[in-house]
Amino acid sequence: MSAVNATTENLNDLLSGEDIAPTPQVSTAAAPTRRTPYFETESGKRLVENALTLFRNAIPPLLGMLLFVGLWGLISHSIKNIPGPYETWISAVELFSDPFYNNGPNDQGIGWNILNSLYRVGMGFGAAALVGIPLGFMVGRFDFLNRMLSPIISILRPVSPLAWLPIGLLVLQKAEPASIWVIFISSIWPMVLNTAAGVQRIPQDYLNIARVLNLSEFKVFTRILFPAVLPYVLTGVRLSIGVAWLVIVAAEMLTGGVGIGFWVWDEWNNLNVAHIIIAIFVVGIVGLLLEQGLMLLAKRFSYE
Amino acid sequence: MQSYVQIENAGMVFSTKKGKFTALTDINLNVEQGEFIALIGHSGCGKSTLLNLVAGLLDATDGVLLLANKEIKGPGPERSVVFQNHSLLPWLTAFENVHLAVEKVFGGSESKAQLKARTSAALELVGLTHAATKLPGEISGGMKQRVGIARALAMEPKVLLMDEPFGALDALTRAHLQDELMKIVAATQSTVIMVTHDVDEAVLLSNRIVMMTNGPAATIGEILSVDLPRPRDRLQLAHDPRYHALRSQVLEFLYSRQMRPKEAA
C-alpha cells in the first residue's frame, strides 16, 4: 500500500515540473508540511478536466468500433471463409510494411494501387471541375441556357456511372482514359447544379449594389459573383469528389490495370478475402480523408 | 428657381402573371437642394417603389424624373442608396466595402492614397474608424447600417436615398443613429429622400413629410412642412407643442383618412 503511495507522489513531483529529487517517503500522512499534489492545483485540475472530456467524447466512437469488430469476429466465427479481425490485422500489417513494391503490372504494392486510383480520380474530377464550374456559372446566369440544358441534365444525371463505360471504351479505345471518362461524366453534375444554384441564389441586394455603383462586369464577377457563389461551388466539389471516389472502384473492377478497384477483383480471384476487407477499409478511409480535406477548405471560404 | 429633383406625373405599372398592377400613379414632387424629405405611408403603398424610381433601379412607366435637370435613366452613384438590410458584401471588411464605392466613383481622377483617405474619412464620419478591418459578420446591426451610410456618403451623391435605413434596428440604436444622421446631413448639406414608417422619425429628421395614400395606384396624399428649427434635439422636442401638432397631423392622415386596408398584409 505504502509503495503505491510513494509512486503517486513521485509522479506528482514529475508532473509539477519541479527539479527537486523526490525524497522517498514511507508514509504521506507522516510528512509535517504536505505539498499540494499536482492534481489539486489549477493546471492539474484543468488537465484532469480535459482528460475527462476527451474520455467522454472518445467513449461512444470507441464503443461503436468495438461493437463493430465484435460483430465482425462473430460473423467470421460462424462463416468459415470470412477472416476475423485479428487475421485481417496481421495481413494488413504485412501488406503495409511494403506498400511500394513492383512485380509487374498485376502485382504491385497497395500504395501504388491507391496512388493510381487517386490519379484517375484526380484527372477525371479535375476535368469535370474545369468544365462543370464555368458551365454552372453560365447556366445560373442565363435563363435561356438553363432552360435549354435542364432537360438534358435531368435525363443524364440519374444514369448509373458504369453505363457510361462502354461509350468511353468505344470512343477512347483504351481502358485508362475510359475510366477517367466515367469519373468525369459522373462527377460533373453536382458541380454544375450547385454552381448554378449558387448563382441563382445571389441575394438581389448584392446585385443592386453592383447596379447603384455601376460596377464593371469584371468587378461584378470578382467582387460579387465569385465570392457569393464560392461556398456553393465548394459544396458541389465536395459532393463530386465523393461520387468520383465511389465510382473509381467499380470502374477499375471492369477495366483492370493498377488500382484499388482492380486490386479488389484480383484478390477475389486469388480468394484472398482478408485483402478484400482491407481494401474496403482503405477505400473508406481515403474517401473520408478526401471529404474532410474539402470540408476544411470550404470552412476556410465561408464568410458568415 | 428650378428644383433639384423633379418628379412629374410619374407612374409605375408592374406586369405580373395576374395582369397589370398599378403601383403608383400621378406622382408630382419637387425636392430642393439640401432638403430632407421623408416618404411615409402604410406598407404596400409604394413608397419604396417611388424611391427605387429615383434610384433608377426601376424605370417609371409614366412621366419623367429629373435630377439637376437631367433625366434619370438607370441607377448611378450620384444617387446612392442606403438599403434597409445594410447590403454590405459579407466577404469584404467595412473598409473594403466603402472603398469599393469610393474606387468606382473617384478611381479615375484620384490617387490610391486619396481614395484611401476618402474611405477612412467616411468611416470616421460615422464613428467606425476602429471597426475598419472587421467583416460585416463581426459587427452589430447598427454598425453595419452605419457602414452602409458611410458607403453611400463616401460617393458624394447628389441625392442620398434611404430605404427604411433604421427599420431593422432596436429603438435605442435607432435613436442614436438618427441623431448621428442629423449631424452628418447638417455637416455635408446632403439632399436626402428617406422612406420610413416611423412617424417620430419622419417629424424629427425631415423638412417635409410626403404622405402617401394606400395602394394600389397610390399617389401623394398630402405634403406636410416641418418648420421646426435646426439643430433639433429629441428631448426638447418631446416637450414642444409644435412637434406634437405635426406628429398628430401625420397620425391623423395615416390612421383616420388612410386607414390601413383590411386585406393588406
Q: What is the ipTM of this complex?
A: 0.79
Residues A226 and A155 in one domain: yes
Inspect the interface and report whether the beta carbons of B90 and A303 lie closer than 8 Å: yes
Residues A78 and A143 in one domain: no
**Cβ-count burial of B96 within 10 angstroms (0-12 exposed, 13-18 middle, 19+ buried)?**
middle
Q: Would you give the DSSP letter of residue B78?
A: T
CB-based contact, B81 to chain A, within 8 Å? yes
The predicted structure's pLDDT at residue B119: 94
Q: Are A239 and A295 in contact (CB under 8 A)?
A: no
- Using a CB-CB cut-off of 8 Å, the residues of chain A touching B104 are 213-215, 219
Measured distance CA(A182)–CA(A295) in Å, rounded: 24
The amino acid sitting at B33 is Q
Measured distance CA(A276)–CA(A266) in Å, rounded: 9
H helical segments located in chain B = 47-55, 94-106, 112-125, 141-154, 171-188, 199-205, 234-237, 241-252
Residues A53 and A196 in one domain: no
Residues 6+ away with beta carbon under 8 Å from B18: none
Question: Is position A222 within any domain?
Answer: yes
Task: Say whether pLDDT at B161 is over 90.
Answer: yes
CB-based contact, B84 to chain A, within 8 Å? no
Q: Cell numbers 442606403 label which residue?
A: B82
Question: Is position A94 within any domain?
Answer: no
Of B57, B85, B104, the CB nearest to A215: B104
Residues A66 and A124 in one domain: no
Question: Is position A101 within any domain?
Answer: no
The predicted structure's pLDDT at residue A204: 85
Measured distance CA(B38)–CA(B182) in Å, rounded: 13
Residues A41 and A159 in one domain: no
The predicted structure's pLDDT at residue B114: 92
| Residue pairs between chains A and B whose CB atoms are closer than 8 Å | 50
The predicted structure's pLDDT at residue B256: 82
Looking at per-residue pLDDT, the higher value among B205 and A36 belongs to: B205
Domains in chain B: ranges and CATH: 5-39+62-242 (3.40.50.300)
- Using a CB-CB cut-off of 8 Å, the residues of chain A touching B89 are 206, 209, 223-224, 227
The amino acid sitting at A23 is T
- Using a CB-CB cut-off of 8 Å, the residues of chain A touching B134 are none
Inspect the interface and report whether the beta carbons of B85 and A205 lie closer than 8 Å: yes
Prediction pTM value: 0.71
Residues A203 and A67 in one domain: no
Q: Would you give the DSSP letter of residue A59?
A: H
Residues A56 and A149 in one domain: no
Question: Is position A95 within any domain?
Answer: no
Residues A69 and A114 in one domain: no
Question: Is position A128 within any domain?
Answer: yes
Neighbours of B129 (CB within 10 A): 13
Average pLDDT over residues B156-177: 88
The predicted structure's pLDDT at residue A14: 46
Task: Say whether pLDDT at A16 is over 50.
Answer: no
Sheet of strand B70-71: strand arrangement: B19-31, B5-16, B62-67, B70-71
The pLDDT tens digits for B68-82 are 888 998 898 889 999
Residues A273 and A141 in one domain: yes
Task: Say whether pLDDT at A163 is over 70.
Answer: yes
Q: Would you give the DSSP letter of residue A221?
A: I
The predicted structure's pLDDT at residue B206: 93
* Number of domain units in chain A: 2
Question: Is position A93 within any domain?
Answer: no
Which cell is A195 given? Answer: 454552381
The predicted structure's pLDDT at residue A22: 47
CATH of the domain at A120: 1.10.3720.10
Of A211, A214, A224, the CB nearest to B89: A224
How high does pLDDT run on average in chain B? 89
The residue among A22, A52, A87 that closes a domain is A87
Query: Which chain B residue lies closest to A208 (C-alpha atoms)?
Result: B57
B82 to chain A nearest CA, in Å? 10
Average pLDDT over residues A73-94: 89
Beta-bridged to residue B5, according to DSSP, are: B31, B67
The pLDDT tens digits for A261-301 are 898 998 899 888 999 999 999 999 999 999 888 888 888 87
CB-based contact, B135 to chain A, within 8 Å? yes
The predicted structure's pLDDT at residue B170: 85
Task: Say whether pLDDT at B53 is over 90.
Answer: yes
**Cβ-count burial of A102 within 10 angstroms (0-12 exposed, 13-18 middle, 19+ buried)?**
exposed
Residues A128 and A257 in one domain: yes
The residue among A21, A55, A87 that closes a domain is A87
B213 to chain A nearest CA, in Å? 27
CB-based contact, B79 to chain A, within 8 Å? yes
Question: Is position A105 within any domain?
Answer: no
Looking at per-residue pLDDT, the higher value among B180 and B215 belongs to: B180
Q: How confident is the model at residue B169 (pLDDT cuts 50, 70, 90)?
A: confident
Nearest 10 degrees: CA dihedral of B151, B154, B157, B159?
Answer: 60
Instruction: Point out the least confidently predicted range of A20-29, A150-159, B83-92, B154-163.
Output: A20-29
Average pLDDT over residues B145-149: 90
The amino acid sitting at B87 is S
Which cell is B157 given? Answer: 451623391
Residues A40 and A174 in one domain: no
Task: Say whether pLDDT at A79 is over 60.
Answer: yes
Question: Is position A102 within any domain?
Answer: no
Q: How confident is the model at residue A217 (pLDDT cuts 50, 70, 90)?
A: confident
Nearest 10 degrees: CA dihedral of B157, B193, B9, B66?
Answer: -10
Closest by CA position to A181, among listed A235, A254, A232: A254
Q: How confident is the model at residue A119 (pLDDT cuts 50, 70, 90)?
A: very high
The predicted structure's pLDDT at residue A34: 64
Q: How confident is the model at residue B262 (pLDDT cuts 50, 70, 90)?
A: low
The residue among A87, A122, A157 that closes a domain is A87
The pLDDT tens digits for A238-268 are 999 989 998 988 898 888 888 898 989 988 9
Domain that holds residue A167: 110-301
Residues A128 and A197 in one domain: yes
Residues 6+ away with beta carbon under 8 Å from A190: A236, A239, A240, A243
